[in-house]
Amino acid sequence: MSRPRVLSGVQPTGALHLGNWLGAIRNWVELQESHETFFCVVDLHAITTPHNPGKLASETLSTAALYMACGIDPSKSTIFVQSHIPAHSELCWILNCVTPLNWLERMIQFKEKAIKQGDNVSVGLLDYPVLMAADILLYDADFVPVGEDQKQHLELARNIAQQRINSRFKEVEKDLLKIPKPMIIKNGSRVMSLSDGLKKMSKSDDNDNSRINLLDPPELICKKIKRAKTDSYIGLEFGNPLRPEAENLLGMYAILSGKSNAVAQQECLEMGWGKFKPLLNDAATSALKPIQEKYKELMENRDHLNLVLKNGRIKAEQTAQKNLTRIRNALGFLPEK
Ligand code: ADP
Ligand code: TRP
């Protein structure tokens, strides 16, 4: 029997941070053992806000290396670059033509990012979730492991597939598109900023001290944790709505040290911030050390990285092309002869 299929991706914009790892990539690593897994570096998404052409290629390669450094194994998973497979853009166009504009205008991430862009909002930024739907639907993915913030985009992909494609074209082919399900990890699905426990940790925050990047050296991690926002209570605890920073940093500590929430809370229940922060620092530094070492090693062998991405492209393209042809035929395009 074939294994259920998983697809996910991260944008190669800036450095990946603890949120990306704990909320998404960490989950991918386990799924490799039980699922057929496709992981792409979504570089076409990275140009939906102004980007630096001098950095796009190197950030794409470095994101792929980080996937592998975090434990994505090219002998188990297909790792590829979104823009290397034109079928993503082509299916995006087809889906654009059936997606109501007001579905996109409702997207929270669009509204948040659009505010930051001022007058300069591109059509691409609005269309971002349709391209994401194309990424997923092109591979008949059963599951999409992402952080909490992507849930609304997943819901949109499901609605496009169900209401705008499957029900409209059911006479031609039943269940033309597979309806994907989100897969959201219980702990870590929403890692918050170090400078504000109510704001998501994000690559796009202008303040680098608000996040721990996976490649930050130990001194920098230490500095960022020292500066992290605290409160005036003594003792770390979960579940107190007045203490978002305690919730976030204690949660981070639990995952990074491999302890359950209950054990971590028990350990830190009477601990002041001054004693807790060095603990968190040790946990973060030791968890990131093997990733940083593996990353360095991978980046020293670009030929190998490029080969992994080439093999990934060849494999992903077979599935993508087959499905795109099926969709084109169902929609009535003149077949190529
Ligand atoms: P960012 O929001 O920092 O730009 P991306 O949008 O590229 O990051 O997100 C890549 C993946 O990481 C997605 O699955 C997303 O849900 C997850 N993710 C991003 N930020 C966080 C966070 N703070 N906590 C948990 N998961 C996150
Ligand atoms: N929009 C996702 C994010 O910002 C990235 C993404 C693009 C993605 N295409 C995808 C995630 C397909 C999962 C599946 O995190």
Model confidence over 299-312: pLDDT tens digits? 999 999 999 999 99
pLDDT attached to residue 117 = 82
Pocket of ligand 2 (CB under 6 A): 7-11, 42, 45, 132, 135-136, 144, 146, 150, 153
Ligand nearest to the CA of 248: 1
- The predicted model scores a pTM of 0.95
Tokens 């302890």 map to which residue? 259
Question: What are phi and psi for residue 78, nearest 5 degrees?
Answer: -95, 115
Active site residue 294: no
Mean pLDDT over 76-85 rounds to 98
Please tell me the distance from the alpha carbon of residue 255 to that of residue 174, in angstroms, as a whole number.
Answer: 43
Ligand nearest to the CA of 148: 1
Cα 191 to middle of ligand 1, angstroms: 9
Count of C-beta atoms within a 10 Å radius of residue 123: 10
Cβ 238 vs Cβ 250: under 8 Å: yes
> Where are any strands of DSSP class E within the chain?
5-10, 36-41, 77-81, 143-145, 181-183
Question: What are phi and psi for residue 145, nearest 5 degrees?
Answer: -80, 115
Q: How many residues does the chain have?
A: 337
State whether residue 230 is helix, strand or coil.
coil
Model confidence over 20-43: pLDDT tens digits? 999 999 999 999 999 999 999 999
Cβ 68 vs Cβ 112: under 8 Å: no
Please tell me the distance from the alpha carbon of residue 213 to that of residue 18, in angstroms, as a whole number.
Answer: 6
Please give the C-alpha separations between residue 230 and each of 108, 193, 202, 227, 262, in angstroms, as whole numbers: 28, 12, 19, 9, 21
| Average of per-residue pLDDT values in the chain | 96
H/E run at residue 156:
helix 151-159
Active site residue 170: no
DSSP letter for 83, please: G
- For 68, half-sphere exposure in the C-beta direction (CA atoms, 13 angstrom radius) is 25
Pocket of ligand 1 (CB under 6 A): 10-11, 19-20, 23-24, 146-147, 149-150, 189-191, 200-204
Nearest-atom number in ligand 2 for the CA of 10 is 5
* Helix 273-299 / helix 218-227 crossing angle, nearest 10 deg: 150
Through-space distance between the first and last CA atoms of the chain, rounded to whole angstroms: 34
Cβ 247 vs Cβ 240: under 8 Å: yes
Model confidence over 118-139: pLDDT tens digits? 878 999 999 999 999 999 999 9
Residue 187 pLDDT greater than 90, yes or no: no
Active site residue 337: no
